[in-house]
Amino acid sequence: MSSHFNLSEYMNNGIENIVKGIVKASLKNPRETAFAVKYALASKKAKRKREILERQGENVPAFLIASITSSCNLFCKGCYARTNSSCGEGHSKEQLTSEKWELIFKEAKALGISFILLAGGEPLMRRPVIEKAAEVKDIIFPIFTNGTMLDEEYIKLFNKNRNLVPILSIEGDRVQTDGRRGKGVYDVLMNGMDKFKEKDILYGASVTVTTENVESVTSKAFFEKLYKKGCRALIFVEYVPVTEETKLLAPTDRERKILEREQQKLRKQYEDTIFLSFPGDEKYSGGCLAAGRGFFHISSNGSAEPCPFSPYSDTNVGHCTLREALRSPLFKKLHETGMLTGEHDGGCILFQKENEVKKLVSTD
Q: What's residue 13's pLDDT?
A: 44
Distance CA(283)–CA(276), nearest Å, equals 13
What residues are paired with 67 via a beta bridge?
119
By the 8 A CB rule, do 295 and 289 touch? yes
pLDDT tens for 165-186 read 999 999 999 999 988 888 999 9
Write b or e for each residue in 178-196: b if 16 or more Cβ atoms lie within 10 A of its Cβ, otherwise e.
bbbbbeebbebbbebbebb
Q: What's residue 351's pLDDT?
A: 67
93 vs 66, 71, 96, 132, 133, CA distance in Å? 17, 11, 9, 20, 21
Distance CA(297)–CA(289), nearest Å, equals 11
**How many residues does the structure list for the chain?**
364
By the 8 A CB rule, do 306 and 290 touch? yes
Secondary structure class of 360 (helix, strand, coil): helix
Q: How far apart are the first and last CA of the chain?
A: 42
Instruction: Name residues of the chain where pLDDT drops below 50.
Output: 1-14, 91, 281
What residues are paired with 337 via a beta bridge?
none
284 vs 147, 278, 301, CA distance in Å? 31, 11, 32
Distance CA(119)–CA(133), nearest Å, equals 13
How buried is 23 (Cβ within 10 angstroms: 0-12 exposed, 13-18 middle, 19+ buried)?
Answer: middle
Task: Kindly list the strands in the beta sheet with 304-305, ordered across the sheet, starting from the edge strand earlier in the chain.
Answer: 274-278, 231-238, 203-209, 164-169, 141-145, 115-119, 63-67, 297-298, 304-305
Angle at 290 between CA 288 and CA 296, to 5 degrees: 165
Amino acid type, 111: L
Nearest Cα neighbor of 140 from 17, 43, 9 is: 43
Report which DSSP code applies to 246.
Answer: G
How buried is 236 (Cβ within 10 angstroms: 0-12 exposed, 13-18 middle, 19+ buried)?
Answer: buried
111 vs 51, 104, 127, 179, CA distance in Å? 10, 10, 25, 42
Main-chain dihedrals φ then ψ at residue 64, nearest 5 degrees: -140, 140
Distance CA(144)–CA(281), nearest Å, equals 19
Domains defined along the chain, listed by start: 7-362 (3.20.20.70)
The full DSSP string for 64-129 is: EEEE--S--S---TT-HHHHTTSSSTT-GGGSPPHHHHHHHHHHHHHHT--EEEEESS-GGG-HHH
